[in-house]
Amino acid sequence: MLMDTSFRDAHQSLLATRVRSHDLLKISPYVAHKFNNLYSLENWGGATFDVALRFLHECPWERLEEMRKRIPNIPFQMLLRGANAVGYTSYPDNVVHKFCELAVQTGMDIFRVFDSLNYLPNLILGMEAAGKAGGVVEAAISYTGDVSDPARTKYDLKYYTNLADELVKAGTHVLCIKDMAGLLKPQAAKLLITAIRDKHPDVPIHIHTHDTSGAGVASMLACAEAGADVVDTAVDSMSGMTSQPSMGAVVASLQGTPLDTEFDLRDVSEYSAYWEQTRTLYAPFECTTTMKSGNADVYLNEIPGGQYTNLQFQAFSLGLGDFFEDVKKAYREANLLLGDIIKVTPSSKVVGDLAQFMVQNKLNADQVLERAEELSFPKSVVEFLQGSIGIPHGGFPEPLRSRVLKDMPRVEGRPGANLAPLDFDKLTKDLKESHPHISERDVMSAALYPAVTEDFLYCRENYGPVDKLDTRIFLTGPKVGEEFEVAIERGKTLSLKTLAMAEDLTPNGEREVFFEMNGQLRSVLIRDKEAVKELHIHPK
């Protein structure tokens, strides 16, 4: 079977997670009709939660609810970062539990639970939270290294089969291999899946990868032949490079074999055509501005798919295109300095920050070790060494840890175990003082992202449901003289036309903008953020 990642991981990897609900909901009915025999549709969690609130000014809960209405017949799947829920830090246990309950109530089915260091106590907390809420638990083993290379002994076959045993023992419903950097070569895939399948003949196995190296389709076919039950793909026009392997390629390769997926290639093509068109709207966030092709050097630097494009984009935006080559080399060194850890959000950020720190300060690994006591390391690196995201396999790197931390406090055991439960009643009361109309979902969002949710609520109260605007108008604004429609809800459509903008600023730095709404002339004062920079306003 296949899982389609086009609604989450594909655009998280290729378009900086920027795809709006508006465009997802437009294609949802088609997916419901033509792709009802998917294992699942991955459409929530991961980075989509905070990007929706932070940059798209829309509610992630509403997105889930609306997708559920349009796609009642395909299981939905989300990515849960174990004890980090959908955030980047450890939360009190009751926050993770409440988050999963609300997700199930809103329409989530399958929870892929992972931990960025494969740290079991964190994984088990996420599994319990998803399971108690009534979700299907899909525990994930994050894959790194290369099980087909006998020289690489830290993450060998035994390591993975032991972890699989632990997760099956803890009661996972489905077992996932999460190959977030696309390091699983076809030969290694055969070895790994065969070994797990021999030990656990009845547990469904689900494989996730990224196609950074270009070998993704070959690896997924090898997994399927070795006995995996589900592989992750993205629709053709949203696949490849740091995204998932192509759905059309997998469907076509298996046609007429015992593993036939039973999808019609013509349906996949039509689905792909929609995304090809829609993708053009997101040109400013497009990874292809900097990344023109896949690159097999990922087997050397092990950078996860989602992070690869981010690091590249950062390097280019600093005007340091060639600097990216240095960052990739430093990433490998930084990883070894930290003890060769598993790299996926948030641990991958630790390695990325250290790599950029090394390149900016022109340091190599030996210099970092020698001068560890005097260097001011990035915050994420210090927190990782303190133990705030968990304990890595094989323990922390010494003497680096002692030199960096000196006498700083250290977290013993599972980070969330020492956190006091969050008082949701108090949080609700505090929020209601400034936002009287909030829902239980807004409170949950605020528990995970307090500042981001505060900005989102302010935006929603002042500007209304901007998620209903067409994507081009949302991102760039309407042209003068342009007429456009906005469907606020079923049967309620506003017709708008921008007419003119006043030349003069008011003393408060606002401009009067004239437009027609449903044929009536309206005007509104809008603060001109650019012009205000020049003005010195003295409010009374």
Band (pLDDT 50/70/90 cuts) for residue 45 is: very high
367 and 483 fall within a common domain: no
Band (pLDDT 50/70/90 cuts) for residue 539 is: low
Question: With 90 as the cut, is the pLDDT of residue 457 above it?
Answer: yes
Total structural domains within the chain: 3
Give the domain CATH number at 193.
Answer: 3.20.20.70
The type of residue at 298 is: V
Question: With 90 as the cut, is the pLDDT of residue 509 above it?
Answer: no
C-alpha span between 115 and 127 (Å, rounded) = 11
Residue 444 lies in a domain: no
C-alpha span between 259 and 271 (Å, rounded) = 22
Q: Peptide bond before 421: cis, by omega within 30 degrees of 0?
A: no
What is the dihedral sign for C-alpha 159, 162, 168, 170?
A: negative
Average pLDDT over residues 462-483: 93
C-alpha span between 203 and 321 (Å, rounded) = 46
363 and 490 fall within a common domain: no
**What is the rounded average pLDDT for all residues in the chain?**
93
247 and 362 fall within a common domain: no
Contact status, residue 249 vs residue 260, Cβ threshold 8 Å = no
C-alpha span between 478 and 484 (Å, rounded) = 8
Q: Identify the pLDDT of residue 342.
A: 95
117 and 182 fall within a common domain: yes
27 and 152 fall within a common domain: yes
Decide the pairing of beta strands 510-517 and 520-527. Answer: antiparallel
Tell me which range, 113-122, 280-289, 530-539, is most confidently predicted by mean pLDDT.
113-122
Q: Which residues are CB-contacts of 123 (< 8 A; sequence separation ≥ 6)?
A: 82, 113, 114, 115, 139, 167, 170
Residue 121 lies in a domain: yes
Contact status, residue 538 vs residue 508, Cβ threshold 8 Å = no
C-alpha span between 405 and 75 (Å, rounded) = 46
Average pLDDT over residues 501-508: 87
Residue 424 lies in a domain: no
pLDDT tens-place string over residues 480-501? 999 999 998 888 999 999 999 9
Average pLDDT over residues 234-245: 96
Band (pLDDT 50/70/90 cuts) for residue 508 is: confident
Q: Identify the pLDDT of residue 4.
A: 98
Q: Identify the pLDDT of residue 143.
A: 96
Helices (H) and strands (E) in the chain, counts: 23, 12
pLDDT tens-place string over residues 295-315? 999 999 999 887 887 788 777
Q: Identify the pLDDT of residue 122.
A: 93
Q: Identify the pLDDT of residue 540.
A: 56
Helices assigned H by DSSP within 134-215: 157-169, 186-199
C-alpha span between 264 and 473 (Å, rounded) = 35
Average pLDDT over residues 50-76: 96
323 and 219 fall within a common domain: no
390 and 359 fall within a common domain: yes
Q: What are the distances in angstroms from CA 154 to CA 148, 189, 211, 329, 342?
A: 13, 17, 24, 21, 11
Q: Give the tokens for residue 247.
A: 């759905």
SS3 486: strand
The type of residue at 229 is: D
266 and 341 fall within a common domain: no
Residue 504 lies in a domain: yes
Q: Identify the pLDDT of residue 537.
A: 56
* Cα dihedral 451/457/458/461 (nearest 10): 180
Give the domain CATH number at 488.
Answer: 3.10.600.10
Residue 159 lies in a domain: yes
Beta bridge mates, 527 = 510
56 and 162 fall within a common domain: yes
Name the helix (H) or strand (E) containing 4.
strand 2-4
Residue 244 lies in a domain: yes
Contact status, residue 23 vs residue 15, Cβ threshold 8 Å = no
142 and 278 fall within a common domain: yes
> In terms of residue numbers, what domain contains 507?
478-534
Give the domain CATH number at 397.
Answer: 1.10.472.90
Question: With 80 as the cut, is the pLDDT of residue 316 above it?
Answer: no
Q: Identify the pLDDT of residue 289.
A: 78
pLDDT tens-place string over residues 184-232? 999 999 999 999 999 999 999 999 999 999 999 999 999 999 999 999 9
Band (pLDDT 50/70/90 cuts) for residue 183 is: very high
234 and 308 fall within a common domain: no
Which of 405, 429, 455 is a domain's end point? 405
Question: With 60 as the cut, is the pLDDT of residue 375 above it?
Answer: yes
Burial of 63 (0-12, 13-18, 19+ CB in 10 A): buried
Band (pLDDT 50/70/90 cuts) for residue 538 is: low
Band (pLDDT 50/70/90 cuts) for residue 535 is: low
Q: Identify the pLDDT of residue 129.
A: 97
Which of 249, 268, 289 is a domain's end point? 289
Q: Identify the pLDDT of residue 3.
A: 98
227 and 152 fall within a common domain: yes
Higher pLDDT, 430 or 346: 430
User: What order do you get walking across the sheet with 492-501 strand by strand?
Assistant: 483-489, 492-501, 510-517, 520-527
Residue 411 lies in a domain: no
Q: 76-86 burial by CB neighbour count: b if 16+ within 10 A, else e?
A: bbbbbbbbbbb
pLDDT tens-place string over residues 317-359? 777 667 888 889 999 999 999 999 999 988 999 999 999 899 8
Residue 392 lies in a domain: yes
SS3 354: helix
User: pLDDT > 90: what percent of the chain?
Assistant: 82
User: pLDDT > 70: what percent of the chain?
Assistant: 98
SS3 484: strand
What is the dihedral sign for C-alpha 451, 455, 456, 458?
A: positive
pLDDT tens-place string over residues 254-265? 999 999 999 999
What is the dihedral sign for C-alpha 159, 160, 163, 164?
A: negative
Which of 349, 374, 405 is a domain's end point? 405
Q: Identify the pLDDT of residue 360.
A: 87
